[in-house]
Chain A
Amino acid sequence: MRLILPATPVIVLASWLLFIPAAHAQVGDCPENTCVESQTSLVYNPQTNTMDAFTTATTDYTTSYWYDLCVNLAVMRVNGPYVVNWDILLPSLTPSPCVSGAVELEEYGSVAATPGRQYFAEGLVELYVYLRLLRCF
Chain B
Amino acid sequence: MIRNLIVSAGALLALSLNAIAQAPSNLSSLPASAYEHVYRHVRHLQTMDAAAALTAHPTNLSAYYKNLAGLTQPQADALQAVSLAALVELDALDQQARAMILQARAQGHQKLLPGQKPPAPPAQLQALQASRKVLLNKYHDNVAQALGASAFANLEKALIANFKVGATTPNQGTGH
The interface of chain A, by Cβ under 8 A from chain B, is 1-28, 30-32, 34, 37-39, 41, 43, 45, 47-48, 52, 54, 56, 58, 60-62, 64-66, 74, 78, 83, 86, 93, 100-104, 106, 108, 116, 118, 120, 122, 124, 130-137
Find chain B residues with CB under 8 A from A48 CB. Answer: 52, 57, 59
Distance in angstroms between the alpha carbons of A25 and B23 in the assembled complex: 9
B146 contacts chain A at the CB level, 8 A cutoff: no
B129 contacts chain A at the CB level, 8 A cutoff: yes
B97, A7: Cβ atoms closer than 8 Å: no
B98 interface neighbour in A39, A64, A137, Cβ under 8 Å: A64
User: Which secondary structure dominates where chain B touches chain A?
Assistant: loop
The interface of chain B, by Cβ under 8 A from chain A, is 2-9, 12-21, 30-31, 33-34, 36-38, 40-41, 44-45, 48, 52, 57-61, 64, 67-68, 90-91, 94, 97-98, 101-102, 104-105, 109-114, 118, 121-122, 125-126, 128-129, 132-133, 136, 158-159, 161-166, 168-176
Distance in angstroms between the alpha carbons of A25 and B22 in the assembled complex: 8
A12 interface neighbour in B9, B33, B64, B68, Cβ under 8 Å: B9
Find chain B residues with CB under 8 A from A137 CB. Answer: 176
A66, B118: Cβ atoms closer than 8 Å: yes
A122, B13: Cβ atoms closer than 8 Å: yes
Find chain A residues with CB under 8 A from B5 CB. Answer: 15, 17-18
A100, B102: Cβ atoms closer than 8 Å: yes
A64, B101: Cβ atoms closer than 8 Å: yes
Find chain A residues with CB under 8 A from B110 CB. Answer: 131-132
A22, B37: Cβ atoms closer than 8 Å: yes
B111 interface neighbour in A5, A8, A131, Cβ under 8 Å: A131
Find chain A residues with CB under 8 A from B13 CB. Answer: 11, 83, 86, 122
B33, A31: Cβ atoms closer than 8 Å: yes
Closest 3 CB pairs of A and B: A27-B166, A39-B37, A4-B173
B112 interface neighbour in A7, A24, A58, A131, Cβ under 8 Å: A131
Distance in angstroms between the alpha carbons of A133 and B113 in the assembled complex: 6
Distance in angstroms between the alpha carbons of A64 and B91 in the assembled complex: 15
B165, A65: Cβ atoms closer than 8 Å: no
Find chain B residues with CB under 8 A from A10 CB. Answer: 21, 164
Find chain A residues with CB under 8 A from B19 CB. Answer: 6-7
